[in-house]
Structure 1
Amino acid sequence: MIAVAASIVQPLIDGVRSRRSFMKSKLGILSALWLLAGAVPSGGCGPASAAEPASRYVNLHEGNGIRHLLDSLEVAIPGRMAEAKAPGLSMAIVDRGGVVWARGFGVRSAGGSAPVTTETLFSVQSISKVVTATAIMIAVQEGLVDLDAPVSAYLPGFTVHSRYEERPEKVMTLRHLLKHTSGLGHEAPAGNNFSRGVATFEDHVRSISDTWTLFPVGSRYKYSNLGMDLAGYVLQAASETPFEAYVERKLLAPLGIRASTFDASRIASYENRACGSPPGDAALVYEQGMIPCGGFYATASELGEIVRFHLNRGTAGSKRVLEERYIDAMMNEPFAVEGQIYGHGLGVFRMNRLAGKTLRRPFAMHSGGGFGFGANVTWLPEFGIGAVVLTNSPNADFAAGLAHRALAAILEAHGASLDTYRPYADLVEVDIDDEKLKPLLGTYTQTRDRIEFCLQDGTPGFKLIDGRFFVAHFVAEREAYIDIPGAAYSTLIRFVPNLDGAGAYLCTVHDGDAYAYCDGPNDAPGPDDPRWERYVGSYEWLAGDTPVMTTKIHRRNGWLYLEHMKLVEHEPGLFFLPHGEYVDARGPVPVGGGVAGRRKD
C-alpha cells in the first residue's frame, strides 16, 4: 500500500494518469480526435477569474463541426472502456444552453445484460462534495449559516479530540470544512470507506467525536471526507431539515433534477441503477452514513444540469437560484499555501492544466472513486463548456482522462485560444551553506508516501520511494525545486519548521500538500520503552471482517514504527503518526485513523 510520492510526480509528468498533462496536436479536428485515444491530462490552478466575456464562450448547440467530433467519440469510447475494464459508462457534454450530447455505453453490472442509458443512476462518490458545497452556499445566501461561524454555534454538543486546541470545534468553521483545512481526518469509526455494515448519517457524525484532528485548525490542507460530512450535518441542524431534503428542495428541484439524489430509499428503489464493479462492492454505498461527502447518485444528464448551473453562474433558466458572488466564492477561495497553483476552493477542485498547457484562468473539476465506481465532472467557466463521465469501474483516472480529452478536442475544433504560462519559470538558484541543510535532512511522510531529503555523493536532493533521486536546486534557505524529465514545470518544495506544535513538514507548493517530518540522521534515539513489545507484530485492517491491508509495527532506533512511519505515544496505548493520524491500541480492537483492525500474528 505504499506508492510513489504522489504530490511530487502525479500532477506533472505527461501521459500517465489523470491530473497530468497530455500532448496537444495542432492538426485540426482529426488530430483532436487522436487526443481522445491518447494520454491523460493534468490539473492545476492559476488566479481565479470573474465572469468571462461572452465572446470567449463556446456554443456547442451551433454545431461548427462538433457533431462529427462527438460521433467519433461515441465510436472510440467502447474500446477505451475495454482497456479500463469498465463494464458501463454514461457521459454528457454540456454548454451554457444545456446538455449537448449524452450517451450510455455497456452494462449496469459486470456480467449482466441490462444496458447503461443516459438515465442510469451511478454513485458519483466524492463529486457529492460539489453538490453539498453548492447547497451550503445557498444556505449562506439565505442567512441560515455563516461560513466563518464556529461549528459549535450550530452543533453545541459536538466535540472532537485534539492535541493542539482544547476545543477545536470552537475554532473550525464551515469555510475550514469546505476547503479541507479543518484538521479533521478522512475516516470515522461508524460508516467509512472500509466498513461494510449499515450506519446512519447521525451515527457517522457522532463517531467523528471519537477521532483526533491531524493538525491545528486552519494551519494546513488535508483532503477530508469527515470535514464535508460535518458541513452537511451543520446544514441539516441549521435548516432543521434532513440534509438530503434540503438539497432536494433548494438545489435539485429548481434545476429540474428528478432522479439524482442523496436519498438512500429512492436510490435503493431506482431500477435503472448501476452496480459497482466488482459486483456487490457498492451494495451498501447509500447505507454508509457518508452522505454529504460521497452519497450522491446521479445520471450523467442531470449532473450535466448542475454543471450548466455553475456555467451560468447560479441561474436555472431565467431564475436566479444562487447569487454570482457565491459561485465566485467557491472558485476564488484563497489557497492555503503561498505560490500554490491548484487545489481546493470551497467544495470544488480548481485546475489549470489542460492539453499539455498551464492556463492562467482556472477551471473546476472533481473526481470520485470507490465502492466500485469512478467518476469525473469538469467545467471550464472561461469557455462555458463542461463534461460528465460516470462509470461502474473504480478507475476515476479513466473518467477524468476521458472528460478532459473530450473538452480539449472541442476547444481545438473551435480554434479556442488558451492563455498559458509556465509556473515557477523565474526561479533563481542560490548557494546554501551545508550547515543550513543539515537540520532539513530526513524522511517526510504521508500515509502511503514518503520523500527523503538527503545527500547523494555530497549533492542535496530528494529521493522518492521508488529510489529515484532528483537534485535539489535551492532558491531560498528553505525552498528548493526539482526538475523531473518530461514535467510541465519545476516542482517547488518548501520546508516548513515546527511553528504550530504539529511538527515540521515539507510542502509541495503547486498543490499545497504536506509531508510531515518523520525521522532523520540528527535524531536522538527514542526511549525504547519495554512496554511497547506488546504492540510489535502484524496487523490486518478490515472492511467488515475482510482484511484489505496488512501492516507491521516494529522497533527502530528506540521507537515504534508502523511500516516507515514513526509512532509517538501520546498516552499509554495511544500513538500518533508523523502526519497526525492516530493508532489507538487501548481497547480490545486496534483502530487506525478510524478504521478497525486486528492482530494477525
Structure 2
Amino acid sequence: MRLIRSCAMLVAAMLVGVMAPAVSPSAAQTATKPQTKLRGPGPLPVPAMVKSDVDAWLDGYMPYALLRGDAAGAVVVVVKDGKVLTQRGFGYADVGTRRRVDPETTLFRQASVSKLITWTAVMQLVEQGKIDLDRDINTYLDFRIPPFGGKPVTMRNLMTHTGGFDEVQRGLNSYDPKKIPSLGDALKRQVPYRIYAPGTTPAYSNYGTSLAGYIVERVSGLPYNDYVERHIFAPTGMTRSTFRQPLPGRLQPLMASGYMLGSGKPGPFELSSLAPSGAMTASGADMGRFMIAHLGKGGPLMKPATAAQMHDTILRLIPPLNGMALGFYEQNINGRRALSHAGDSPNFHSQLWIFPEENVGIYMSMNAAGTQNVSGPIRSYLFEAFADRYFPFEQRDGRVDAATAREHARMMVGTYNKTRRLETSFLKAMELAGQTKVSLDRDGGIRLNAVPGIGGQPRKWVEIAPFVWREAGGRMRLAAKVENGRVVRFSVDSASPYIAFDRVPWYLSAAWLTPAMLASLGVLLLTAIAWPVSALARRYYGVKADLPSAALKSYRLTRGFAALAVTVMVAWILFVSTLLRDFSSLSGELDWALITLQVVTPIIFLGLLVSALWNVRHVWTGKRGRFAKFWSLLLLISAVVLLWIGAGFHLIGFGTHF
C-alpha cells in the first residue's frame, strides 16, 4: 500500500463547473450577519515596503526555512514600481563546492513558470492579428486535434487549461538530450484523449501549453527558442534565460545543481520534451525583469491594452474562488488581486506573484524539494507572510447556521478525483491510492484529506456562505458546485483556476475498491500459501487428498491462478514504481514489461474467475465442509474484484500510450 501511495505522490510531484453552485432561496437566507476577523499586523503600524525592511524580514525567514527543510538554496526577488526592490540569494547553488546562490547569475530550472513565456508570446501574436483566441486551433496546425461533442479547442481554451485533455506522461521528461524530439514530433507522437468538453472543466495541461508554443512557431515562422529569444528575452534584458536543451556553453557554469534533499547528491539536468510548458532556465534577476515588464502594462513586450486583456480576462468556473486569466492564474489575497504561476520538477521549485494594482511582484525559486517536499510550504508561507506584512487586511466573513452547515457537510461527503488526471491509461490504477476523500469531522463539519495545512495537519473548515467554506484561522476557501441537490464538484482557492475535484462514480470509488482489493489479495495469498503447506502436511502424515479427480483439478487450478494473480498485481506495482522513479523510463525503455503485463493480466484474471467458478461448483456439490464452501465463495468474490479493478482501471487493455 505504501508503495502504491508513493507512486501516486510521485505522479503528483511530476506532476497541481461551468456555473456557480445553485443555491435555493431558503439556503441563501441562512447566512447571518458578517463576522469580523482581524488579519495581519492589526493595530500595529504597517512597515514600509523598502529594501532594508524586506531584507531584514527575508533574513529572519529564509535561512531557517532552508535549514529546517534540508533544502539547498533559494533566490528571492521583489520588484516595486518598475524597479528591483531587492534580490537575494540564500544557501548554495552547489552544496558540494559550497558555491553560493547569486541572484543575478545563478540559473534555476523554471518548470511550469515557463508557461508564462509561452502565453506572453501568444498574446504578442494576438496583438498582431495572427492568432484569434476563439478560432479552432486546427487552423494553425499541420495535424488535427479532434473536436469533443462537435466543439473544437480554441487558443482561449488552451490558455485557461480548459481544452479537455487527458494527462500525458510518456516521453514528457528525460535526462538524455538524444531522447528529446522536436516540438512538432513530440506533440504528434501522442495526441491525448479528450475527456471534457472544451471550456467546461479546469484541467491543467502541459500538452495544451506546448501545443500553443508550436502554434507560435508556425504562425511566426521562427523556431520557438528563436522566437522567445528575439521577442521576449531581448526586449526585457533577460540575458541569462533560455529554453535551449542542453544549456548553451556560456550558461552551463552558472547552473545550480538540483537536489531532492540538500544533504543528498545532486541529480542530473532535467530535460523536457514539451519545452514551451516547462523547459526554461533563468536567473532570479531575469525573472524580476519579466515581472517588471508585466507590471508595467506590458512594458516592451506588448501594448497596455493587450496586457490588460491578458491579465483581466478571468474564467471563474467555481465562483467565488480564484479564476484563470489568460495564462496567469489568480491567487488573490488580503483583498488584493494577485496573479501567479508556479513550476515544479523533481529538483527545482519556483513561483512568481504579481500585484497589478500595487505594482509589486515577488518571485522565488529553490533547487531542492526538501524534506517531505517542504519547498511548497516554504513558498506558500513566503507569499502569505509577505502579504500580511505589507498588505494587511480585515477579513469579513458571513456564517451559515449550524443545522444547515451540518447538512451541507453531509452533502459533501464522498470520494472525488482531480480533473487533471490520467484517465485512459493503466496509470489510472494509481487512483486506488490517490483519490480525494471528503468525510465528516467530529463536529459534523467537512474533513478533507487533500490540501493539508502548512504543518501537514488537516484544515478545519467553517461554512461562511451556502456551499462556501473558509479554513478556520486561515485564508483558504473551498466552494462546491451543486446540481439537482447533489454536490458534483468542488475546488479550493489555491487550485481552482486550473484543477477541480469531481465526484467519483460508485463503481470506481477507492473508498470500497481499495479495501476490497487488499482483502482479495489477502485471500488469494493465503490460498496460494495454504496449497503447498497442506500438501506437505498430507505427505508428512501419509494422508491422501480425498477428492474426485475433477474436483482435485479445480482445486489445484484455482490455487495456481490465485498465486499468479497475486504475482501479477505485485508486478504491476513494481512496474509503475520503476516507471515513475526515473524520467528515463518514461520514453519506452520498459515497453517490453508493459506489453508482457498487458498480455498476461487478462489471461490470469479470467483464468482465476473461471477456475473459481468451477471450484465453487465442485465444493458445493461435493461432500465438503462449511469452511471449504465459505472459502470457495471468498475466492470467487476475490476473482470478481480483481477483474473489476483490471477493467475499470485499464490494467486490462492494450497500447503503450500513457
Task: Please report the TM-score for the alignment, with normalisation by the length of structure 1.
Answer: 0.69
Which amino acid in the other structure matches residue 478 of structure 2? Answer: T
1:105 CA displacement: 2.7
Partner of 2:296: 312
Which amino acid in the other structure matches residue 349 of structure 1? Answer: Y
Whichever of the two has the greater Rg, that structure is 2
Q: 1:147 to 1:422 in 2, by over 3 A?
A: farther
Show the 5 A alignment for 1:315-326.
315-316=299-300, 321-326=301-306
Structure that is richer in helix per residue: 2
Correspondence 1:507 to 2:490: yes
Show the 5 A alignment for 1:165-204.
165=149, 171-192=152-173, 198-200=179-181, 201-204=183-186
Partner of 1:39: none
Which whole-Å CA distance do the structure 1 matches of 2:278 and 2:162 have between them? 18
- Give the one of 367, 373, 380 matched to 1:401: 380
Q: Are 2:348 and 2:367, in contact at CA under 8 Å, matched by a contact in 1?
A: yes
Q: 1:230 to 1:522 in 2, by over 3 A?
A: closer
Show the 5 A alignment for 1:148-297.
148-159=134-145, 164-165=148-149, 171-192=152-173, 198-200=179-181, 201-209=183-191, 211-267=192-248, 269-270=250-251, 271-278=253-260, 283-285=268-270, 287-297=271-281
Partner of 1:25: 41
Which whole-Å CA distance do the structure 2 matches of 1:110 and 1:268 have between them? 22
Correspondence 1:384 to 2:365: no
Which whole-Å CA distance do the structure 2 matches of 1:157 and 1:365 have between them? 32
Partner of 1:48: none
1:257 CA displacement: 1.6
1:179 CA displacement: 0.8
- Give the one of 115, 131, 156 matched to 2:100: 115
1:381 CA displacement: 1.2
1:464 CA displacement: 4.1
Q: Are 1:505 and 1:514, in contact at CA under 8 Å, matched by a contact in 2?
A: no
1:218 CA displacement: 1.9
Q: Are 1:109 and 1:392, in contact at CA under 8 Å, matched by a contact in 2?
A: no
Structure 1 residue runs without a partner (length 5+): 11-20, 33-57, 570-574, 577-582, 595-601
Q: Are 2:315 and 2:323, in contact at CA under 8 Å, matched by a contact in 1?
A: yes
1:220 CA displacement: 0.7
Q: Are 1:110 and 1:277, in contact at CA under 8 Å, matched by a contact in 2?
A: no
SS across alignment from 1:344: coil
1:152 CA displacement: 0.7
1:269 CA displacement: 4.6
Show the 5 A alignment for 1:435-454.
442-446=414-418, 447=431, 449-452=434-437
1:272 CA displacement: 1.0
Which whole-Å CA distance do the structure 2 matches of 1:109 and 1:430 have between them? 57
SS across alignment from 2:338: strand
RMSD of aligned C-alpha atoms?
4.7
Correspondence 1:340 to 2:320: yes
- Give the one of 492, 496, 501 matched to 2:479: 492
Which whole-Å CA distance do the structure 2 matches of 1:173 and 1:251 have between them? 23
Listed one character per residue, the Cα deviations across residues 410-450 of structure 1 (whole Å, up to 9, x for unaligned) are 62xxxx675x6546x3657886999x999987432335643
Partner of 1:100: 85
1:313 CA displacement: 0.8
**How many corresponding residue pairs?**
494
Which amino acid in the other structure matches residue 145 of structure 1? Answer: I
Listed one character per residue, the Cα deviations across residues 237-294 of structure 1 (whole Å, up to 9, x for unaligned) are 1112111211111121111221112122444651111121147765342x32121111
SS across alignment from 1:352: coil
SS across alignment from 1:234: helix
Q: Are 2:78 and 2:288, in contact at CA under 8 Å, matched by a contact in 1?
A: yes
Q: 1:557 to 1:385 in 2, by over 3 A?
A: farther
Which whole-Å CA distance do the structure 2 matches of 1:458 and 1:92 have between them? 43
Q: 1:98 to 1:208 in 2, by over 3 A?
A: farther
Which amino acid in the other structure matches residue 70 of structure 2? Answer: K
Which whole-Å CA distance do the structure 2 matches of 1:389 and 1:456 have between them? 36
Partner of 1:298: 282
Q: Are 1:349 and 1:364, in contact at CA under 8 Å, matched by a contact in 2?
A: yes
Which amino acid in the other structure matches residue 337 of structure 1? Answer: L
Q: 1:405 to 1:342 in 2, by over 3 A?
A: closer
Q: 1:239 to 1:22 in 2, by over 3 A?
A: farther
Which amino acid in the other structure matches residue 324 of structure 2? Answer: H
Q: 1:124 to 1:472 in 2, by over 3 A?
A: closer
Listed one character per residue, the Cα deviations across residues 349-373 of structure 1 (whole Å, up to 9, x for unaligned) are 21112xxx3x1x4111222121311
1:401 CA displacement: 3.5
Which amino acid in the other structure matches residue 391 of structure 1? Answer: M
Q: Are 2:158 and 2:209, in contact at CA under 8 Å, matched by a contact in 1?
A: yes
With 102-111 and 220-229 compared, the bigger mean Cα shift is at 102-111
Q: Are 1:121 and 1:274, in contact at CA under 8 Å, matched by a contact in 2?
A: yes
With 276-285 and 391-400 compared, the bigger mean Cα shift is at 276-285
Which whole-Å CA distance do the structure 1 matches of 2:285 and 2:126 have between them? 27
Task: Please report the TM-score for the alignment, with normalisation by the length of structure 2.
Answer: 0.63
Which whole-Å CA distance do the structure 1 matches of 2:405 and 2:59 have between them? 55
- Give the one of 99, 102, 110 matched to 1:124: 110
Which whole-Å CA distance do the structure 2 matches of 1:396 and 1:337 have between them? 28
1:69 CA displacement: 4.0
Q: 1:24 to 1:217 in 2, by over 3 A?
A: same
Partner of 1:43: none
SS across alignment from 2:164: coil
SS across alignment from 1:203: helix
Show the 5 A alignment for 1:456-495.
464=449, 480-481=467-468, 485-488=472-475, 491-495=478-482
1:496 CA displacement: 4.7
Q: Are 2:158 and 2:208, in contact at CA under 8 Å, matched by a contact in 1?
A: yes
SS across alignment from 1:302: helix
Q: Are 1:462 and 1:472, in contact at CA under 8 Å, matched by a contact in 2?
A: no
1:463 CA displacement: 6.3
SS across alignment from 2:481: strand
Which whole-Å CA distance do the structure 2 matches of 1:315 and 1:445 have between them? 40
Which whole-Å CA distance do the structure 2 matches of 1:303 and 1:173 have between them? 29
SS across alignment from 1:99: strand
Q: 1:326 to 1:430 in 2, by over 3 A?
A: farther
Show the 5 A alignment for 1:406-445.
407-408=386-387, 411=390, 418=393, 421-422=395-396, 425=398, 442-445=414-417
Structure that is richer in strand per residue: 1
